[in-house]
Amino acid sequence: MEETKTITNKSNLVIYQKYMELIYYTNDILKKYPKAENFALVKEIKNSLYSGFRLLMYAIKSFNKHEKLKYLNELDVTLCLFKVQVRLSYKYKYITMQNYQTWSNLITNICNMLGAWISSCLKK
């Protein structure tokens, strides 16, 4: 039991660290957007980013399995929306191909960890 708890805490810490990297990268990239997008796409990206972070924190702090799964599933949906917003940014040429690939890789890594976390919660 103790070993399982330690593994879960470590994986939570890794996903937390990766999400923080995503926040730093996103904030750096959003500074490059045109001023006209500050109250449109930039605002929506930031809303998705920080609401996802809030859901991650709720999931980490939750002790109830069903509640934790609810937060994790909501985070998954938020990340899917975030991916679409990143794609739009690339389509409208607000970011370069390299920015798009780096951003997508950060999101994909978090999604993979999230999927593993959801699976581990379902097995318990």
Give the start-to-end residue ranges of the domains of the chain. Answer: 2-123
Per-residue model confidence as pLDDT tens digits over 25-48: 999 999 999 999 999 999 999 999
Per-residue model confidence as pLDDT tens digits over 67-124: 999 999 999 999 999 999 999 999 999 999 999 999 999 999 999 999 999 999 998 6
Domain range 2-123, CATH architecture: Up-down Bundle (1.20)
Q: What is the Cα–Cα distance from 119 to 37, expressed in whole angstroms?
A: 38
Indicate the pTM of the whole model: 0.87
